[in-house]
Amino acid sequence: MEALRQATGSIEAFLGVGSSTALVLTWLVILLSVYVSLQLFQVFSGNALGRSRRSRGNVTLMLGQCGSGKTATFFRLRDGEEVQTVSSLQLQRDSFPIKAGENPDQQLSSVEVIDFPGHLRMRGKANDMLPEARCIIYLVDSDDKPKLKDVAEHFYELLTNRDMLELHTPILIACNKSDLSTARSEKFIVEEIEREIEQMRVSRGATLEGQDQADSYLGIDGEKFKLMEHSPCTIQTCKISAKKNEIQPVYDFLIEQYSA
């Protein structure tokens, strides 16, 4: 208080203004200095500790190609029933409890899940939602081999995405439609994706004017690309079938992500 009165007096004398104005000015100066110091502190603390100031959101993002079963799995997760679906035109988001088993620590009270359309045209919007995601469930149609090319391309884009590189969001590759007889195994799908990405490293690495080469590089130069080892995010795989209600691995993944 003494210091305050002194400061007010000095400002009054210096500027030749009334006492009340001087008081207001003093307070303003104090607030300003506090604000500036806080900013500096934040900057320095961030740099010193070396961790990213940004943190992941709290949402589970369901991505995948058109027809891989995202909407069907969404409704299975939520209500446990089978639904008829058509291609989604816009996203669906809802919060609901997850029950993986009878054990109380195998249950979550509320998990927010977003089911995003798989159409390529919505890809830009999907990329905008990546910072919000706590984890990603990527559904793959195990039956559709030609589509794996597009899956690999999407993966390449995800793994070179700036937000993903910063946040290291874990991805679960869920090979859907495993109840079909022509469904491929997880190992096959992962190998196929790796092979396609290997090819893409050449084509994507060849950047045109205006693009940064470092931005689009994946893996280690000279070595063959391995999905599990070289990707910036932790990737797990599993086999599910939304039709037959065999989605236990998804529950386990979610429990693991949200309890951590």
Q: Which two tokens stand for residue 146?
A: 């030609």
> For another protein, which stretch binds (CB under 8 A), given 181-189, 201-209, 215-223, 246-254?
201-209
Q: Which DSSP symbol is given to 120? A: G
Task: Give the x-and-dash track for 161-190 against another protein (CB under 8 A).
Answer: ------------------------------
From CA 65, how far away is CA 224, in angstroms rounded?
A: 25
Q: Which DSSP symbol is given to 241? A: B
Task: Give the x-and-dash track for 119-148 against another protein (CB under 8 A).
Answer: xxxxxxx-----------------------
The least distance separating another protein from the CB of residue 198, rounded to whole angstroms, comes to 11
Residue of the chain from 3, 14, 49, 84 that contacts another protein (CB under 8 A): 84
Helix or strand holding residue 60 (H, E): strand 59-64
The least distance separating another protein from the CB of residue 226, rounded to whole angstroms, comes to 20
From CA 58, how far away is CA 68, in angstroms rounded?
A: 24
Residue number, 79 or 223, with CB nearest to another protein: 79
Residue of the chain from 90, 103, 181, 259 that contacts another protein (CB under 8 A): 90
Contact between 104 and 33 (Cβ < 8 Å): no
The least distance separating another protein from the CB of residue 135, rounded to whole angstroms, comes to 21
Closest CA to 152 of 116, 117, 203: 203
* Alpha-carbon torsion (241, 148, 159, 162), positive or negative: negative
Contact between 90 and 242 (Cβ < 8 Å): no
Residue ranges binding another protein (CB under 8 A): 66, 71, 75, 78-79, 81, 83-92, 94, 115, 117, 119-125, 149-150, 153, 199-200, 202-204, 206-211
